[in-house]
Amino acid sequence: MLRRYLAKRLLVAIPSLLIASLIVFTLPRLIPGDVVVLMLAEKAYAKDLDELRAKLGLDRPLPVQYVEWLGRVARGDLGESLWTKRPVLEEIGQRLPITFELAMFGLFFALLIAIPVGLIAAARQDTIQDYVARSAAILGLSVPGFWLATLLIVLPAIWWGWRPVTGFVEFSRDPVGHVTQLLLPALILGIATGAALMRLTRGMLLEVLRQDYVRTAWAKGLTERVIVMKHGLRNAIIPVVTLLGTQLPQVIGGTVIIETVFGLPGMSRFLFDAINQRDYPVIQGVNLVVVSLIVVINLTIDALYAVLDPRIRY
Amino acid sequence: MSTRVEIPQQVAPVKAAHARGRSWRGSIDTLRALGRFTRRKPLGAIGAVIVVALLVMAVFAEQIAPYGYDESIRGARMQSPSATYWLGTDNLSRDIWSRIVYGARVSITIGFATVGMAVALATTVGVSSGYFGGIYDLIVQRVVDAWLSFPALVIVLSVMAVLGPGLLNVALSLAIIIAAINSRVIRGATIAIAHGTYVEAARAVGCGHARIIMRHILPNVVATIIILATIGLGTAILAESALSFLGFGVPPPYPAWGAMLSGSGRTYMFRAPWMAIWPGVAISLAVFGFNMLGDALRDVLDPRLRGSGSVR
């Protein structure tokens, strides 16, 4: 049954992925005027416009260009960066692990904040703890990550003379230094997601704690800790796991700012630089890789959802 | 012969007194409703106060701000907050409080423009997709799926690379993203309404699609749209500040809160930390206000939407 469900989800995911690829392909071609003229204005890349147009395959009809581009993508060829002249896939391969690590650490911090706070807020509904937790969650959703990052750089420097490490430390050189440098950026990245997850954890837990079996557990004389942790949280956690999937695009979007503020050479910063330099093959490549990763991760989360909750039959 | 109906002289004052009475009762009822809302949703009331303050700042910026947004004050370079310069001055000797007041105008303009466009697009897509269903719904939803697979900031930056910087382009690129998310919620609400017996009855008496949508579907999704718009305003302000911070927002010297935090705000942040602190406080307060108000409105108008949340 699970296999059939996953096959069905895959069938739905394929058209979405194809439409996403069409969006990625179309975006640079929507630029008013001639993209080749723009490229030449940005950086002398070829001797004349026709040569560049032929090189990029822009002299053929759009549907042909799309099919050819898709064929190249299927063979792992995302083109060449206009600035570094290196294959886009190779460039992404070098930077993707940093962004992935940052996003995973961010999600870890988000869960670390969301579950205990959501649990306390639900278990102490309409008390001062609940109000503080809910207000803090809305505040967490309202504070811009780049401002928080700026404050966490400025204030400790003014008060204690401490500044976060600048410059990227590779894992192979100094594993501890590598992980340490990611902690602060990941914490900032995780705050907004943590706030959204906390609100969901609280809501789900409140719903579960009103179920009959929870009333039975109270009647049996079980302690609050057992009821909330064993009967409540276990059942409330499933939608939270699902929401992790929907939050993933936002976490990756957040890495654009965090990587820029902390000077981390990740994929999002690479995209940001490419946008500033109008490096279209890179913009297309990064967008395509990001969207494909998100679709695959969401599929995995769907599978995980089915495994986590044996009651679910597809 | 005149057809004019003369009102007897003694009736006019009585009518006026009735009208005054009605208007007094109306005002008292409104005040009572506001009082009830404040008691039931204190956080929502705080949000409403912040939103009203923001609107006043945006509309009456010239009257509220003591200096112009680009006015250099002689001998006041990087002054710390004081009685003269409430929030201090920046590296170009400009009053930060005045710039924040004018910055509210940018945030509010982009917020409302974004939400206006997003609501129009989301309502068109969501209502038509939910009402007509079938193959049209399937195709539209796959496009929305694809659009939602992109990280919001990544796709907004890519769209901005296509459109170029500017106030309208920022609003347009943000509207496309917010519309995709909102269309899902509106579609859900439309499906629930479209299966109602009164819609079936309208169809049975021969009402056309346009009439059913305009008279039965739209009035019933208005509450959902108001809630999404209020939460969307906070989201739009936050996203605009991020774009301005990254250099894709409103071009200088007009002050946008996000842009005040980048550039010189970051260059001089160790020497003049107030340059980096106050614009962030303004963004956070504005978004906090809209989120609080949106949350409270959702609870009052449509508690089923709890959990639809905002986007970041």
CB-based contact (8 Å) between A214 and chain B?
A: no
Q: What is the pLDDT of residue B305?
A: 53
Residues forming beta bridges with residue A80, ordered by sequence position: A87
Name the residue type at position A51: E
Whether B103 has a pLDDT exceeding 90, the answer reads: yes
pLDDT tens digits, B27-46: 888 888 888 888 888 888 99
Query: Can you give the pLDDT at residue B174?
Result: 92
Torsion of CA A41, A45, A49, A51, to 10 degrees: -170
Mean pLDDT, chain B, integer: 86
Which residue among A157, A271, A278 sits closest to B270, beta carbon to beta carbon?
Answer: A157
> In sequence order, what are the residues at sequence separation of 6 or more whose Cβ sits closer than 8 angstroms to the Cβ of residue A118?
A133, A197, A198, A199, A200, A201, A202, A205
Q: What distance in Å separates the CA atoms of residue A255 and residue A247, rounded to the nearest whole number?
A: 13
Instruction: Give me the pLDDT at residue A6, please.
Output: 75
pLDDT of residue B217: 93
Residue B288, min C-alpha distance to chain A (Å): 5
Q: Which pairs count as long-range contacts for B212-217, CB under 8 Å and 24+ apart, including other chains?
A: B212/B131, B213/B127, B213/B131, B217/B127, B217/B131, B217/B190, B217/B193
Distance from CA of A237 to the nearest CA of B (A): 15
- Which residues of chain A carry a pLDDT beneath 50? 314
Q: Which tops the pLDDT comparison, A259 or B309? A: A259
pLDDT in tens, A233-260: 888 887 787 777 778 888 888 999 999 8
What's the pLDDT at B309? Answer: 40
Q: Rounded distance, CA A77 to CA A70, Å?
A: 9
| A286/B24 Cα distance (integer angstroms) | 62
B151 to A135: CB separation less than 8 angstroms, yes or no = no
CB B138 within 8 A of CB B146: no
- Nearest-CA distance B297 → chain A (Å): 15
pLDDT of residue B242: 92
pLDDT > 90? residue B254: no
Residue B244 in this model has a pLDDT that exceeds 70: yes
Element (H, E) at B275: helix B274-301
Q: Nearest residue on chain B to A131, judged by CA atoms?
A: B43
Which amino acid, B112?
F
Residues of A in contact with B307 (CB under 8 A): 199-200, 203
* pLDDT-based confidence at residue B311 (cuts at 50, 70, 90): very low
Phi, psi of B83 (to 5 degrees): -65, -30
The Cα of B198 is separated from the nearest Cα of chain A by a number of Å equal to: 31
A299 touches chain B (CB under 8 A): no
Residues in A closer than 8 angstroms to B157, CB to CB, are: 256, 271-272, 275
In the block, which residue shows the tokens 């929305």?
A: B144
ipTM: 0.83
Report the chain B residue with the minimal C-alpha distance to residue A158: B270
* C-beta of residue B100 within 8 angstroms of C-beta of residue B279: yes
Express each pLDDT in A30-79 by its tens digit. 766 566 666 666 555 556 677 777 777 777 888 888 898 899 999 999 98
- pLDDT, mean of residues B52-70: 95
Contact at CB, A135 and B43, closer than 8 angstroms: yes
Identify which of B179, B228, B311 has the alpha carbon closest to the alpha carbon of residue A193.
B311
Contact B287 A141 (CB under 8 A): yes
